[in-house]
Amino acid sequence: MSGLNSWQAEDPEPMLVFLESWKELLPTSIVHDILDMVVLPELKVAIQLWEPNLGTVPIHLWVHPWLPLLFELGDKYQLELEELFGTMRLKLCDFLSSWHPRDGSGYTIVSPWKAVFDSTTWELLMRRYVVPKLELVLLEDFEVNPLNQKLDQFNWVMRWASAIPMHLMVNVMVKGFFPNWIKGLHFWLKANPNFEDVADWYRGWKELIPKEFHANESIRCQLERGLSMMNRAVEDMEAAQADLKENFRVVEKRQGKAVPAAQANFGGQTNMDGIDHEMNLKENGKIDQVQFEAKKRAAAFLAIAKLGSTTDVDDISHQMTLKDVIEAEAQEHGLLFRPKPGRMFDGHQVYGFGNISIMVDFLKEKIYAQTEATWSLVSLERLLELHKNKETMSF
């Protein structure tokens, strides 16, 4: 008993061992008196004198071991416990007021008290002293740079993910993180990037954001916003391919105008119509192949980004057939693409693409559309035009 007045709050083990040893032998009133007259006063003084930046032992390690015994005191000592926890809360507020998110000790010191304070008190503490600083460090100090990404500030924030209530953490992400994320993606897409790199970047960020966040609608909305930007970038790439085709058409038109002069120079002996036709076929073949490869990569890129696959874009695009590309094109424009039972032409299955009947030569990777009574070689762009024209005529 002589050691009751000589123990130190920062070293609770001797007193805890003593009380645990005598708890079953001593009357409950004696145990309560020891807690009330010896333990509580020592803890109050120690907490008042506690300096978080000077202490070598985190405060929860020498206060929390007493909580089970203190809670046994019952309602009679409720005011004393509230005073103890009130003092502790004020000390944490004072510490957090000058704290910066880069300081990892903030989380180490504060987070263990989440299980002690009631949910209302804890949320108020987080909302007032922690959340604004996390938002600010993301807005002002964090930069999204796909070419040289540094994650220091992001990791400072994510350190608090398990301590801060979910709805507050979502606000931190929506207000602090995603504006920079969207801005960084916007500038990167304008620089005509490699879409495989973009897909890897998107998957990487989805993995960095805690999985429990993905169930939140606001977080999903931001991620889908980024995916929509990537989709539009792919569409812009397809538009560029269409411009390439138009440039070829201009060249073909000029070649067509030059034919009579060429025929005159050769005395009409050379069939320039035939040569021009052959050149057109070759150039169109090049264009179709360029467009087909672009469509394959675009479809592969979107599949990877949306599904979170780790497969290489080129690996997927090389595995994709013309049928896969047509299916992807149909899905993108909300059209049905399916075989027509019992319909064959020239040994090939006839499919419905929207309201157009088509035949696909998978060996030669060619698409033929039924226009009136004939079958014509078409590109995907021309196929969509035929569908839209027929749809317009039906009205």
Q: How far separated are the first and last CA of the chain, in Å rounded? A: 99
Instruction: Read off the pLDDT band of 71 (50, 70, 90).
Output: confident
Higher pLDDT, 222 or 57: 222
| Full 3-state SS string of 268-299 | CCCCHHHHHHHHHHHHHHHHHHHHHHHHHHHH
Higher pLDDT, 299 or 369: 369
- Residue 236, phi then psi, degrees to nearest 5: -65, -35
Lowest mean pLDDT among 173-177, 278-282, 365-369: 278-282
323-351 confidence digits (pLDDT tens): 878 888 888 888 888 888 888 888 788 99
Residue 45: which residues within 8 A CB-CB, separation 6 or more?
A: 9
Instruction: Read off the pLDDT band of 6 (50, 70, 90).
Output: low
- Find which of 31-35, 205-209, 271-275 is predicted with most confidence, using mean pLDDT: 205-209
* pLDDT (average), residues 111-135: 96
Give the SS3 label for residue 150. coil
Predicted pLDDT at 232:
84
Lowest mean pLDDT among 189-198, 199-208, 233-242, 252-261: 252-261
Predicted pLDDT at 270:
29
Predicted pLDDT at 118:
93
Lowest mean pLDDT among 49-53, 309-313, 344-348, 352-356: 309-313
Instruction: Read off the pLDDT band of 252 (50, 70, 90).
Output: low
Cβ count within 10 A of residue 198: 23
Lowest mean pLDDT among 60-64, 87-91, 232-236: 232-236
282-299 confidence digits (pLDDT tens): 334 444 554 555 555 555
The dihedral region occupied by 39, where left means phi > 0, alpha psi between -120 and 50, and beta the remainder, is alpha
Higher pLDDT, 68 or 209: 209
Is the pLDDT reported for residue 64 higher than 70?
Answer: yes
- Residue 162, phi then psi, degrees to nearest 5: -85, -15
For the record, the structure tokens of 302 come out as: 């979107």
- Find which of 55-64, 157-166, 297-306 is predicted with most confidence, using mean pLDDT: 157-166
Q: Distance between CA 9 and CA 2 in Å, rounded?
A: 17
Is the pLDDT reported for residue 277 higher than 80?
Answer: no
* Domain boundaries defined on the chain: 1-142, 321-395
Instruction: Read off the pLDDT band of 14 (50, 70, 90).
Output: confident
Q: Please check whether residue 291 is in contact with residue 262, taking contact to mean a CB–CB distance below 8 angstroms.
A: no
- Find which of 55-64, 88-97, 228-237 is predicted with most confidence, using mean pLDDT: 88-97
The helix (run of H) or strand (run of E) holding residue 155 is: helix 152-158
Is the pLDDT reported for residue 249 higher than 80?
Answer: no
Predicted pLDDT at 156:
97
Predicted pLDDT at 186:
92
* pLDDT (average), residues 31-54: 88
pTM value is 0.60
Task: Establish how many alpha carbons lie within 13 A of residue 28's alpha carbon, considering only the half-sphere containing its beta carbon.
Answer: 5
For the chain, the average pLDDT equals 79
